[in-house]
């Protein structure tokens, strides 16, 4: 068994602990830091605005409900077929 190899490993570990002690004594802090860019802040603000917006446009829904109730809502079969084909293709 080589004791000198063990001493070398122990010295490596001791040097790291010495650096940690000197950092505490010198007043420096090695804490993690996070900074968010302006673009990231803008994206967060935009996401928050989208989350607050309603999923349903009540004015459009009310308009179509009135037309359906009055019996004046008409959609051509060709328009429906065109939309289906665009989604399918």
For 24-47, what is each residue's pLDDT tens digit? 555 666 778 888 899 989 999 999
Q: How far apart are CA 40 and CA 45, in angstroms?
A: 9
Q: What angle do CA 79, 81, 85 make, to 5 degrees?
A: 120
Q: What is the pLDDT of residues 3-28, one digit of tens each?
A: 666 666 766 666 554 455 555 555 66
């Amino acid at each position: 068994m080589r004791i000198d190899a063990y001493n070398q490993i122990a010295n490596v570990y001791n040097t790291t602990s010495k650096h940690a002690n000197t950092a505490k004594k010198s007043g420096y802090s090695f804490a993690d830091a996070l900074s968010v860019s302006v673009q990231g802040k803008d994206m967060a603000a935009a996401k928050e605005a989208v989350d607050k917006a309603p999923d349903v446009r009540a004015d459009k829904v009310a308009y179509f409900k009135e037309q359906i109730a009055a019996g004046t809502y008409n959609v051509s079969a060709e328009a429906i077929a065109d939309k289906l084909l665009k989604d399918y293709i």
